[in-house]
Amino acid sequence: MEEKSLIQKLPRILPGLLFMVGSVILLRLYVEPWIKDITVFGTKGWLARELNLNYILLSIILGMLYRNVLFGGKIPAWAEEGFRTTRLFIKGGVIMLGCLYTVMSLAKVGGWAIVLILTFVFGTVLFVMWVGRMLGADRSTIGTMGAACGVCGVSACIATAPGVKAKATEVAMAIATILGFGLMTMFISPFIGKALGLSDLQYGAWVGTGILNSGQVLATCLAFNPTIAKGTAVYYGELWNLVRVISIPFVVFIITAWYYSKEAKEEQGGQAQKQSFGQILKEKFPMFVLGFMAMTILSTLGLFGPEKSETNHLLREAMQWIFAIGLIGQGAYIDFREIKQAGGKPLKIGLAAGATKYVLALIIIKLFVPSDYDV
């Protein structure tokens, strides 16, 4: 069957997309200003200041309410294609974030970010393998949970699943566990960050290292500081997160090779799909990272003008709208029933790895990462 073009799909995309766009317009132009202005406990703006209720958290909360209350647990057919554009908006926004960086700033911050992230990525994978074996989990479950906890949640889990012959139920349980843990950390992290007096650099580095899912890293950074600019939480958090994302093909290869060992062949009858590193790199490399780097190069060349130019202002304003639309969609893909059903060994592995990574990252970053850095 011939694949439909974007123009042919547009009539099915528009209803759900317009629903998300309309929701964001209501949130940003009416609901968020009202929350900033309302007086609670005798303090004006208490909800915004103390509960961090900005347009980012409101977008995710609204998306979750749509899915679990208004839609009765399932996105309706009329909105489904539109809501599927969620990943496009988030990845498009991350590409645009490249305009905040220069090659020089990446070189300054990127070196120790790479060391820290890769230590946590591969350390987490090994930790999951150890915990999984201690619990007697099968190798497919260990493989998918290792990628999900070690790298960036859902994307890494899905990328690894074919190589370890994971069943659909194993993938679903891994994703539900990751999203459930991420949902909790997404709401508590801004409070912890402010209580400990973390700077934007420290907070972004912690969240970019310790939170399991990429979309939730973005949301958690913007919940702490909704400003999109150089030196903000999202500036550092996404830099850390991109290092994680780039490691996907390497982690997939290592986990697949581990699964395809002699022991795995004895357990599974040698049915795992063996792939070369070149094949995995070609199939799993996150192409949007190239778009991010292209924007960084254009920024380095000065094509967007000075820091406070009108072009940069428009780009940042556009990013705020794009991320808000994408995060409403992400909220709508959080199904409380699936999270509730996630249990057993995947839940134990995910909680052990997620909590260890989250707390250890906070301790190391608080002790060793400076509060500020010249970018």
SS (H, E, C) the chain: CCCCCHHHHHHHHHHHHHHHHHHHHHHHHHHHHHHHHCEECCEECHHHHHCCCCHHHHHHHHHHHHHHHHCCCCCCHHHHHHHCCHHHHHHHHHHHHHHHCCHHHHHHHHHHHHHHHHHHHHHHHHHHHHHHHHHCCCHHHHHHHHHHHHCCCHHHHHHHHHHHCCCHHHHHHHHHHHHHHHHHHHHHHHHHHHHCCCCHHHHHHHHHHHCCCHHHHHHHHHHHCCCCCCCCHHHHHHHHHHHHHHCHHHHHHHHHHHHCCHHHHHHHCCCCCCCCHHHHHHHHCCCHHHHHHHHHHHHHCCCCCCCCCHHHHHHHHHHHHHHHHHHHHHHHCCCHHHHHHCCHHHHHHHHHHHHHHHHHHHHHHHHHCCCCCCC
Position 151, amino acid:
V
Q: Map out the domains of the chain as residue ranges.
A: 89-368
* 254/239 Cα distance (integer angstroms): 24
Please report the pLDDT score of residue 165 as a whole number: 81
CA angle 82/87/89 to nearest 5° reads 80
* 311/144 Cα distance (integer angstroms): 42
Please report the pLDDT score of residue 82 as a whole number: 94
Please report the pLDDT score of residue 249 as a whole number: 82
CB-based contact 64:216 (threshold 8 Å): no
What are 66's strand-pairing partners? none
CB-based contact 155:184 (threshold 8 Å): no
**Closest by Cα among 345, 44, 362 to 206:** 362
CA 13: distance to chain centroid?
23
Residue with tokens 């012959």: 165
The pLDDT tens digits along the chain (375 residues) read 455 666 778 889 999 999 999 999 999 999 989 988 888 877 787 887 777 778 888 898 899 999 999 999 899 999 999 999 988 998 898 889 888 888 887 777 667 778 888 899 999 999 999 999 898 888 888 889 998 898 877 778 877 888 788 877 778 778 878 888 888 898 899 999 999 999 999 999 999 999 988 888 988 999 899 888 888 999 999 888 888 888 888 888 888 888 876 454 555 444 545 566 667 666 667 778 788 889 989 999 988 888 778 888 899 899 989 989 998 998 898 888 877 766 678 888 888 999 999 999 999 999 988 777 655
Please report the pLDDT score of residue 78 as a whole number: 95
